[in-house]
Amino acid sequence: MGKRKLVSILKRPIPATGLVDRQAASAITHVLHADATGTEGASIKSLTLGPAIQAKKATYAVTCETLRMLPVIQQLVSTAELMGLDPRLSRETAFVLCYELLFGEGLRQKGPAERLVLSARPALEQELAAMLAEAGVANARELISESAQSAAAQRRPRSARVNTLKMSVAEALTWLRTPKGKQHLKLAELGAQVTQDELLPDVLLFPPATDLHDHPLVKNSCLILQSKASCMPAHALEPQPGWDVLDACAAPGNKTTHLAALMEGKGRVLAFDKDPKRLKRLKANAAATGADCITARVADFLQLPLATSPEFRNVRGALVDPSCSGSGTTLSRMDFLLPSHAAQHSPRSEGDRIERLARFQEAVVLHALTLPALQRLVYSTCSVHERENEAVVAAVLPRARELGFELAAPFPGWPRRGLASSVEGAERLVRTHAVEDGTDGFFLAVFQRKAES
């Protein structure tokens, strides 16, 4: 064997043999890199429950539990000098296999990576016993202090939106609650526990931790996996059948297809996004949901001639849900499992980024307000930061009033409103709290044209 080929083989990483463990190690590699570098990356859920992932439920569970136990696993791997056994063993593969060996279902595969970890088993178990004795606890999970967010995530109901273009809410509930052969008995038992949301009639709530990704109604796009908070902007816009509606920053399209469903598929939904890959996903979602009234194309929204082009002459509703910090989705993204979560990043620590986002958000809202026939505009974010929410409304409100708009008050019965010290009319704004409301942290404002205008 040549020297170069031998060196190449020695540098080649040793992956886990089992499919689930390989996928979990890959997901952990991505999220830990993004977390350590402060870069934006895919969420734990998207990395473990995406279309290309096999055995989704098991991969998601192993990934989450490995990250949950990571402080303990890291110490075990370090003390047992596991990484020194073979430099080709990646730390993420070692983390996953140590979890499986000590806390999971054991190592069922016997590939090179598994054999390495098994060879270190005595040292790993000895160090674990020492850690338990020092802490005075009997179980390794007692070494991990559960955060309030982690506990809240486990209590949060699972939500899904009924795609009323394909199925009514009543039909969905009947389907869920009716056994359809022995293979569907468990689905029927699950359906007995589903409830209809009191605020949003097309949103169904399932017990916490319910796994719906392989559910037949999800696979055929009759049910859309979407948080309750994410469903609020389309309802707040109140688009009517036959309207022309514009979605400014549309991809990946859950809100876009929701608009189409509320319009009963009648009229036009003009959807724009400047990212071709994301827009491709939007088009696929529109086709799967039967939202034929959606016209989607790649475009920088700020460059569209809204005030002068005949294409936008009859647009009466606009949804502006631009890029934001995503600070309200930490529970959905499972970010509390990441090492940086303990640092409790404050808005000040990422102030420059938030300021750039807020200025972009202001520009998008102001541009959308130039639509000549616009009657109603919803501005929404999945952020909890005042600068991206009330401060954006305060910045655009003077110009909105000049153009004949005022703040409307959606969801009159909803108790959580805007920050009163931040903007005039804060009681007309809507906020959701990720822990207390059992959904993502969201913000929305509705600009409505005055009747005399």
Contact 136, 261 (CB under 8 A): no
Residue 406, beta-bridge partner list: 448
For the chain, the 3-state helix, strand and coil shares in percent, each to the nearest 5, are 50, 10, 40
Question: Any binding-site annotation on 321?
Answer: yes
Is 352 known to sit in a ligand binding site?
Answer: no
Please, are residues 334 and 43 in contact by the beta-carbon 8 Å criterion?
Answer: yes
231 is catalytic: no
Residue 251 assigned as binding residue: yes
Instruction: Find out whether 404 is annotated in a ligand binding site.
Output: no
Helix (H) or strand (E) holding 364: helix 351-368
Query: Residue 76 is which amino acid?
Result: L
CB within 8 Å of 283: residues ≥ 6 apart: 253, 296
Q: DSSP secondary structure string, 216-264?
A: HHHHTTSEE---HHHHHHHHHH-PPTT-EEEETT-TT-HHHHHHHHHTT
- As given in the structure block, the two tokens for residue 353 are 């980024």
Q: Is 253 annotated as a binding residue?
A: yes
Residues with Cβ within 8 Å of 139's Cβ and at least 6 positions away in sequence, in order, are 132
Q: Is 324 annotated as a binding residue?
A: no
Q: For residue 60, what are its two tokens?
A: 């998601």
Contact 360, 379 (CB under 8 A): no
249 is annotated as contributing to ligand binding: yes
Structure tokens at 106: 């054991």
**Residue 230 burial (C-beta neighbours within 10 Å; 0-12, 13-18, 19+):** buried
Q: Confirm whether residue 250 is marked as ligand binding.
A: yes
- Which long-range contacts (C-beta less than 8 Å, at least 24 apart) are formed by 125-132? 127/75, 127/76, 127/79, 127/80, 128/72, 128/76, 128/102, 131/72, 131/75, 131/76
Q: Which of 64, 98, 293, 382 is catalytic?
A: 382
The catalytic residue positions are 382
Q: Which residues are annotated as a binding site for S-adenosyl-L-methionine?
A: 249-255, 273, 300, 321
